[in-house]
Amino acid sequence: MELEEERVGDAFVVTARGRLDGASSSIFADRISGLMTNQKPKILIDFTEVDFVTSAGLRAVLILLKKVKAADGSFALCGVQNSVREVLDISGFTAMINIHPARSDGIAALSP
């Protein structure tokens, strides 16, 4: 998995590419956790090029969600592919995460 972060105002927008699985989930969790240094961290992850999320990946997302919630921040995804979306739906994640159709929608929702 490749990760590339960009600062947009007081938020971080992270472009993820590849598979979020057992081989990449801890790198993903560590890298995103590293961006949560502010009070109320704001994180948007662009999943447009993520084609595969396993239960190990879901665990990493859940850990990040709990951290963001504990810090009173926000965590959102955008551009989620249909098959990945189905996995998020089945696992009950859609109810816990804001999912925006496109990156521009996600960025618009970040502004205060």
Partner 1 sequence: MAPLETEVLATSEAISALTEKVLAYLEEQQVDSRAAHHVALVVEEIVTNLGTHGNCRDKPAKIRLMVEPAQVTGEIIDTGPPFDLRLAPDPAIEAPLEERPIGGLGLYLIRKLTSTLEYSHQNGQNLTTFAIARS
The CB-of-47 to partner 1 minimum distance in angstroms stands at 14
* Comparison of 41 and 107: residue with beta carbon closer to partner 1: 41
- Taking CB under 8 A as the rule, does residue 112 contact partner 1? no
Q: State the Cα–Cα distance between residues 22 and 88, nearest whole angstrom.
A: 17
Distance between CA atoms of residues 63 and 47, nearest Å:
18
Check residue 69 and give left, alpha or beta (phi > 0: left; psi -120 to 50: alpha): alpha
Residue found by looking up tokens 């990449």 in the block: 24
**2 near partner 1, rule: CB under 8 A:** no
CA atoms within 13 A on the CB side of 70: 9
Q: Considering only residues 27, 86, 102, 104, which one is a binding residue for partner 1 as defined by CB under 8 A?
A: 86
Residue 27, interface with partner 1 (CB under 8 A)? no
Q: Which of 2, 37, 39, 82 binds partner 1 (CB under 8 A)?
A: 82
Q: Is 48 in the site for partner 1 (CB under 8 A)?
A: no
Query: How far does CA 94 lie from the centroid of its chain?
Result: 12
Is the separation of the CB atoms in 35 and 14 below 8 Å? yes
Binding residue count for partner 1, defined by CB under 8 A: 25
Applying CB under 8 A, which residues contact partner 1?
19, 21-23, 51-52, 54-56, 58-59, 62-63, 65-66, 69, 82-83, 86-87, 90-92, 95-96
